[in-house]
Amino acid sequence: MTASHATRAQTHAHSTKRHWAEGLTVFAAVTLMIAGVLDIFRGIMGIAEDDIFVSTRDYVFQFDLTGWGWVHLALGVVAVIVSLGLFQSVMWARVAGVAIAGLIIIANFLSLPYYPVWSVVMIAFSGFIIWALCVDRGEEFS
């Protein structure tokens, strides 16, 4: 292999890695935006004490449904704001995205008895967000 072929191969590999990194950031931004909007709706439902939530007395972590509504509403608003930063690929948004997705996982784990299926779905969404933001190493490929 000549030197020019090796250089082209490195450039192609560099370009491919950069595209993957950019794609994962966009994936994380879109997924975090969706999770945030859904958490906002869940928060509004909790504050309104919607009948869709299940009330369980035998759960170790017992909280007021209205309180959980405010927690989810706040997490959702912050998630949407952070996702807007992720669309611009700024480092603070990546760090905040991992943190907010982690908090969404914790909040959904603690609110499992109120809406179990949706809590598990949100935990999975947030896990994918954390994965995408931790795997994405776009700055190395610039």
Q: 50-100: per-residue pLDDT in tens? A: 665 555 566 555 667 788 889 889 999 999 999 999 999 889 999 999 999
**Other CB atoms within 10 Å distance of the CB of residue 51:** 8
Contact call for residues 107 and 75 (beta carbons, < 8 A): yes
Dihedral angle, C-alpha 45, 51, 52, 54, nearest 10 ° = 110
Residue 62: CB partners within 8 Å, gap ≥ 6? none
- Does 19 score more than 70 pLDDT? no
The reported pLDDT for the residue numbered 102 is 96
- Does 140 score more than 50 pLDDT? no
- The residue extents of the domains of the chain are 31-141
CA distance 120 to 84: 25
pTM of the model: 0.74
Please give the sequence-ordered ranges of beta strands (E in DSSP) within 17-96, or none if there are none.
none
The string of pLDDT tens digits covering residues 21-40 is 678 889 999 999 999 999 99
Dihedral (CA of 105, 54, 117, 30) sign = negative
